[in-house]
Structure 1
Amino acid sequence: MANSSVCSRHFKTGEIVLSAKGRRKLKPGTVPSIFRWTKPSRPGVWEHCPRAAATGGEDGAADDNSAASGSNTGMEMDCEPAQTPPVPMIEDHDYAESPFITVDRSKYTDMCKEIEELRQQLESQHLTLRFGLQRFASSKEDIRFYTRFPSYEHLMAFWYLIQEATTRMVRVNSAQRNLSSSTSTESPVTRPTKLLPIDELFLFLNYLSTGCTQRELGHKFNIHRATVSRIIVTWANFLYTLLGSVSIWMTTDAVKANRPVDFNGTYENTHVILDCTEMRCQTPSSLLLQSEVFSTYKSHCTFKALIGMSPHGALTFVSALFEGSISDKEIFRQCGITSLLTPEMEAMVDKGFLIDELVSGKVHRPAFLSKEEQMPEVDVLRTQSIARLRVHVERLIRRVKENKLFDTVIPLSISGSISQIFTVACLLTNYQYGPLVKKWAHAE
């Protein structure tokens, strides 16, 4: 019939050809001949026994006579069957077979439940073996240890603030490949690492909090050490730009609105409390660099920075890192805070900040003994009152240095990005912690 269809497997090779238009068709006179019951033809007698080649002349006639007379030579020939290639048995199709499979309903339900349980076990096992944020989401102690955030909810609240900006993150390797362009964007589809953005943030916070080496982080997150280095530098620059774009310097009205009662009276106009902190660094091989970064106070090569705090405990200023040999006064001169202070803003500092001629406002500083044998009573009381309030900036610095990276000797290999990393660690304290003093909680 013209409209009938037969499977192509029922035809021999060469019986199906292509037309000029590229359509398959059968040769004229071709019929289906390959079925399950088709068997190869049985070889004949002459195909079983090989025959000697016929020769002409008398020799040929002699051979014919000897074969006709039934000589022993002809009868003793080894008649072995010829080796024929095996013919594959192609099974026919069951065109009446139903596409649906009939199974026991209860057995099918039990199998589905078992598959779902095995899938959940596999996912839980994967989370247990994988070192990532989701593994520690249920433990406040682990989140605190690895990120310095008090809980998983606090960390996710911070993540939601920066999540949208991560799509426009400029990566280190992207910047190197696109030197001609000023900006480069990355999408989750074209990301150069196999980690999710939130896991990269977790890696960066883990690096700050635990101070472990990049090789160790590579083993934890199952990535190469060079990839860890690129992630750290990328996120340091990203958070430095993103968090640094938010103004943390407070206005006079905002400081007065959040001022604790401990500052009422003599120090009610105090706008910022300043202090310097130092971090040990690796000793450079150059003697000139050694002399620049060597700190006589720490008796070691250090980096030095200036940190400012509002009276209610929020970080309001952080400078770049300077060499350890610089004085507190010189850091104050170079860091740029002088342009932020106005005459009505008072500053509270330590003894090393001899900055009265650099600012127009009042400076609260502990008194010096000078050449006197004993400090006057009024100076003693003023020093005690200043120390009682200024100690809170030391507690803020301790919060920054709870990141173990700054407890170790900082290698010179990350000196190019250590200033951004330190600034980010300082800015994160405004998101990671509560008030310095519990009774100041209402000022938050």
Structure 2
Amino acid sequence: MKIITLLLTAATLMVSSSLCQAQKSTPVQKVFDGWSAKETLDYIRTFSVSDLTTGKPAALWYHSHASQTNKTAILLRRQPIMKLPTARLPEIGKISVETDLGRMTLNDYLNHPKSFAQGFIVVHKGRVAYESYPGMHELDAHFWASTTKVLASMVVGLLIDDGLIDESRTLGYYIPEFKGSAWEHIKVVDAMDMAAGLDARDSAEQFADPSSVTSRMFRAELGEETNGKIEYMLEVMVDAKSVEKPGQSYIYSSATTQSLVFLVEAVSGKSWSDFFEDRVWSKMGVEGPLQMHLSPDGIAIVHGPASSNLRDLARVGILYTPSWRKVSTERIVSPAMLDRIQNTPRTRDFYLGGNAGSGQRFMARLGEEAVRTAARQWDAIFEDGDFFKSGLNTQGLYVSPDRDLVIAFFSTEPTHRIQKYLRPIVTSGLFD
């Protein structure tokens, strides 16, 4: 079953997904109407990456049914639910921006038949200021796509705080399987910041080339053959080649995120899912489980496939704010971890340099020039210290620690136009 290539969670680079493709998508009302037994079985048996990246009807189904096509580790709630109180700010819904659908308010956009928005939440000081579910039930588990990548950096950050990882050391120092490969001499900090300098990058060219490390890795995660042989993720990754000095420029790469999974497992001695459950999810007062979707050989695919309800994604964002006590029994994101994000030494030249073009794409989607750089698996770090992560088909998590503000959203729409609302909401004066 061709599914995990949601890995094209490189979402970032699916610029070829046009608005006209999005307009052919199934209206999100289908979520409420439901799928027949035949439709469900057909999707389980035939789901493909093209269904996901072009917004075909199967994408809407997959976003809430990924566990029916992927092996999945279920991370259960261990704490009593820590409910998020409400303090509604109806002014949020009245904020308007210009999109390719015309100028419209957030309220109108979310309910527009061509927005394909499914859920949108704004949480200020641990209280829900705005919440809308135009295309999903509020407790549905929904696919995070590349938004999952920030979990990889969070877990490595915990091990750095524990003194078990020195980010100035190389991946080869910690991961024996990387010895003798191009990964061996890449520093942990460069992997954290998407600066591995390897040819394993997320790009249309790599996806189209069946011999590329990126394409082979995705097929390995699907259990599909390459040249008549089923490969494993790790054995594919070690074939990556260096194309520039590590740390030189920002190169968006799902393979680089996966290197952090092997790092955590090598250092902790636990599977990534078990470690994350022990150190993060089990401490949180979430409303539901976290579904970590796995490769056929049981590796957590942290560069993309995870699923939860929307409020629990927002709770992950709240861990980075002063209101963390409202969602967790202990502080998970330390001041040092937050400082490494907000005050990263990575520059704007780093973000916009190189030939990958990742930084330019992120800024264009956000419609915002105040992006300073990217680091720690976050797509954009703003001049005011805010940061944001996006995922394929328009999933996202925006965190403003200084404003104690979090925005999270789910969608089935490939153009990412909803991102244009983020900075206008944040800088509206409602949260100053």
TM-score by length of 1: 0.20
The structure that has the greater radius of gyration is 1
User: By percentage of residues, which structure has more strand?
Assistant: 2
RCO higher in 1 or 2 (8 Å CA, sep ≥ 6)? 2
User: By percentage of residues, which structure has more helix?
Assistant: 1
TM-score by length of 2: 0.21
